[in-house]
């Protein structure tokens, strides 16, 4: 993570050692800390929900098994209702994949900011184009999703922000359109 300068901000009481680079690194550190804190909180909730859906799935399977051995009136439509519950459970699990992708992207953002702060704080590298190129290559190599790579490449190639986002595609979390997932930026099960 971001290697923070000791002593904190000196912006309120600048002295001869005051530096805009130091202040920039501190602000980048705050950004990384906020994103990391949000991800940690979200992960705890996500794990609780994921475990709940796994248990629900197990209960659904147990009900299916019990129903297959029991003669019940057809008008109850229990098999159909259990199938509908199972489908909704599966749709929810697929939607959870969005959170996984979001967490991956935010983790990449934290790493990018941290590496940028490291470069900016290195007085021997900050003015070296080769150091910036190495930073860019290293950041891109950490991306695991094609959308991230497309977005990165588009912005470095000079595409306007909105065009880069359009090139990367929109995320589709509608389980009814899962046949398109993967080709248009939809959720992929990993």
Tell which wins on pLDDT, 141 or 75: 141
5-14 residue pLDDT tens: 788 888 888 8
Look-up of token digits 């129903």 = 67
Instruction: Flag whether 117 is in a domain.
Output: yes
59-115 tens-digit pLDDT? 888 888 887 787 777 777 888 888 888 888 888 878 778 888 888 889 999 999 999
Residue 34: inside a domain: yes
**pLDDT tens digit string along 29-59?**
888 888 888 888 888 888 888 888 888 888 8
DSSP 124: T
Q: How many domains does the chain have?
A: 1
Predicted confidence at residue 180, as pLDDT, reads: 41
**Domain for residue 151, yes or no?**
no
Q: Is the dihedral of CA 94, 97, 99, 105 positive or negative?
A: negative
Give the model's pLDDT for residue 177: 44
Question: Residue 49 falls within a domain, yes or no?
Answer: yes
Lookup: tokens for 188: 């992929």
CA dihedral 14, 18, 22, 27 (to 10 degrees): 20
First and final C-alpha spacing in the chain: 26
Residue 172 and residue 185 in contact, taking contact as beta carbons nearer than 8 Å: yes
Task: Note the pLDDT of residue 115.
Answer: 93
Report the alpha-carbon angle 46-50-54, nearest 5: 175
- Residue 148, in any domain of the structure: no
Domain presence at residue 155:
no
Q: Identify the CA nearest to 49 among candidates 6, 107, 97.
A: 97
Is position 90 within any domain?
yes
Cα 15 from Cα 67, distance rounded (Å): 77
DSSP 3-state of 75: helix
The tokens of 116 are what?
Answer: 């940028």
pTM of the model: 0.67
Q: Which domain holds residue 116?
A: 20-142
Task: Confirm whether 171 is domain-assigned.
Answer: no
């Amino acid at each position: 993570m971001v290697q923070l300068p000791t002593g904190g901000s000196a912006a309120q009481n600048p002295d001869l050692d005051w530096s805009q680079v130091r202040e920039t690194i501190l602000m980048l550190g705050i950004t990384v800390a906020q994103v990391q804190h949000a991800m940690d909180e979200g992960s705890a909730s996500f794990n609780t929900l994921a475990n709940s859906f796994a248990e629900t799935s197990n209960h659904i399977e147990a009900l299916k098994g019990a129903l297959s051995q029991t003669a019940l009136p057809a008008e109850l439509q229990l098999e159909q209702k259990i199938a509908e519950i199972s489908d909704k459970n599966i749709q929810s699990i697929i939607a959870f994949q969005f959170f996984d992708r979001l967490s991956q992207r935010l983790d990449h953002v934290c790493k990018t900011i941290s590496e940028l702060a490291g470069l900016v704080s290195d007085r021997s590298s900050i003015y070296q184009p080769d150091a910036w190129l190495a930073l860019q290559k290293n950041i891109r190599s950490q991306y695991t999703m094609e959308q991230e790579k497309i977005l990165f490449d588009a912005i470095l190639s000079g595409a306007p922000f909105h065009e880069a986002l359009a090139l990367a595609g929109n995320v589709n979390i509608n389980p009814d359109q899962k046949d398109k997932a993967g080709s248009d930026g939809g959720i992929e099960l990993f």
